[in-house]
Amino acid sequence: AAIEKGGYDHFMLKEIFEQPSTVFDCLRGRVDAANGTITMAGVEANIEQLKNAQRILIIACGTSWHAGLLAEYIIEELCRTPVEVEYASEFRYRNPVIHKGDVIIAISQSGETADTLVAIEKAKEQGAIIFGIVNVVGSSIARASHAGAYTHAGPEIGVASTKAFTAQLAVLAIIALKLGYEKGTLDNKRFLHLLNELEAIPEKIPAALNQAEAIKQLAYKYKDARDFLYLGRGYNFPIALEGALKLKEISYIHAEGYPAAEMKHGPIALVDENLPVVFIATRDSYHEKIISNIQEIKARKGKVIAVITEGDDVITQMADDVIVVPAADELVAPMLSVIPMQLLAYYIGVAKGLDVDKPRNLAKSVTVE
Ligand code: G6P
């Protein structure tokens, strides 16, 4: 088993550290920034349906659902197609409105999640086109889809999804870029810029991973907290949700992810000197806004752990602790800002002496409803 883990203590840590190569593998042969091209057979073969879709519906569970939520923000920004994201378990039991020609993007690491699979069958019966984004080749969801793209992250053993998530984000970014370009809603200059930014992500991930030792120290500092709050805005809001989910799964500490501005409608009541609040506050178009949110937490004596872009002295002054990630365009930055979320959950779980690869009550793929 030690050999399988490649020298790491756990599969989860190995998989977190594999991300420079898994994201690279996911982009390879698909994104060519130098030539300004995207090659993705599943998208190209169905480009007319995608362009003409009145609506895109994304269905998934768990971490894959968080990838879907980020995709909603990116697809609406770049493609101007309305997107809805739904939990597969809700979708399958209600009476959703589906029009012929609606495109459904189903996201699943395992390709075996029962709720997602049944939701797909239901949507298919009503004339939707199913585009699957799946990690496990030949899995049930891959076979049930009309078209799709694999995430090529390799086998994920740790129950908490890490490298599959960043690969999902990479595939979804590729789809959004391609569709925006083909629809003409994304101009050539921004297309090329984003293509370059996406291609640069695998080279930037190691710098995020280099924070591991510092994050391990933070883990010991905060491991006895009873609750955590995770806040983000815009493209980093889904990363706040994912950060909270990772912590719950691995450390059994209660954590909530929230849109940073929405906290004043509830979670702010929890803030006192015992509450660590993780801000995903990389430099983006929401930066000034999130700085005021940090001030609101500090004014109530909360402990602020901020994930920031390198060189952000303003937040460094305000926060109790900072974790630094490289600069990137805000549309692709979540692929970097999620890395400290994974590491923080991992090291807190380890600090508490828990079995991070096999957390209690959870399964790698949930093949029953
Ligand atoms: C389980 C796993 C999660 C995963 C979710 C969806 O809850 O523990 O890590 O995100 O299922 O799985 P899928 O394979 O469909 O992405």
Q: How far is CA 258 from the centre of its chain?
A: 15
Q: What ipTM is given for this predicted complex? A: 0.98
Q: Whose CA is nearest to atom 4 of ligand 1?
A: 62
Cα 92 to ligand 1 centre (Å): 17
Q: What pLDDT is stored for residue 368 in this prediction?
A: 83
Task: From the CA of 160, give the closest atom in ligand 1.
Answer: 9
Q: What pLDDT is stored for residue 100 in this prediction?
A: 85
Q: Rounded to an integer, what distance in angstroms lies between the CA atom of residue 198 and that of residue 358? A: 32
Q: What is the pLDDT of residues 218-269, one digit of tens each?
A: 999 999 999 999 999 999 999 999 999 999 999 999 999 999 999 999 999 9
Answer whether 342 contacts ligand 1 (Cβ < 6 A).
no
The token pair at 146 is 């009309």
Answer whether 145 contacts ligand 1 (Cβ < 6 A).
no
pLDDT of residue 2 exceeding 90, the answer is no
- The stretch 50-70 carries a mean pLDDT of 97
Cα 299 to ligand 1 centre (Å): 37
**What values do phi and psi take at 204, rounded to 5?**
-95, -20
Secondary structure (DSSP) of 249-298: HHH--EEEEEEGGGGGGTGGGG-STT-EEEEE--SSTTHHHHHHHHHHHH
Answer whether 151 contacts ligand 1 (Cβ < 6 A).
no
Answer whether 116 contacts ligand 1 (Cβ < 6 A).
yes
Catalytic residue among 124, 183, 298, 364: 364
Cα 191 to ligand 1 centre (Å): 31
Cα 56 to ligand 1 centre (Å): 22
With the most atoms of ligand 1 within 8 angstroms of its CB, the residue from 61, 241, 356, 362 to mutate is: 61
pLDDT band for position 55 (cuts 50, 70, 90): very high
Residue 10 CA neighbour count, 13 Å, CB half: 20
- The stretch 279-307 carries a mean pLDDT of 97
Residue 321 CA neighbour count, 13 Å, CB half: 19
Please indicate whether residue 364 is annotated as part of the active site. Answer: yes
Output the average pLDDT for the chain.
96
Asked if 321 and 219 touch (Cβ cutoff 8 Å), the reply is no
Answer whether 211 contacts ligand 1 (Cβ < 6 A).
no
pLDDT of residue 365 exceeding 90, the answer is no
Q: Return the closest-CA partner of residue 366 out of 98, 62, 55.
A: 62
Answer whether 140 contacts ligand 1 (Cβ < 6 A).
no
Cα 274 to ligand 1 centre (Å): 31
Answer whether 366 contacts ligand 1 (Cβ < 6 A).
yes
Cα 363 to ligand 1 centre (Å): 8
Answer whether 135 contacts ligand 1 (Cβ < 6 A).
no
Task: From the CA of 164, give the closest atom in ligand 1.
Answer: 16
Answer whether 168 contacts ligand 1 (Cβ < 6 A).
no
- The stretch 187-193 carries a mean pLDDT of 97
Q: What is the pLDDT of residues 299-338, one digit of tens each?
A: 999 999 999 999 999 999 999 999 999 999 999 999 999 9
pLDDT band for position 1 (cuts 50, 70, 90): low
Q: What is the pLDDT of residues 62-75, one digit of tens each?
A: 999 999 999 999 99
Secondary structure (DSSP) of 99-162: -TT-EEEEEESSS--HHHHHHHHHHHHTT-EEEEEESSTT-HHHHHSSEEEE-------SSS--
pLDDT of residue 294 exceeding 80, the answer is yes
Cα 43 to ligand 1 centre (Å): 24
pLDDT band for position 101 (cuts 50, 70, 90): confident
Inter-CA distances, 305 with 106, 150, 341, Å: 33, 34, 11
pLDDT of residue 3 exceeding 80, the answer is no
Q: What pLDDT is stored for residue 369 in this prediction?
A: 79
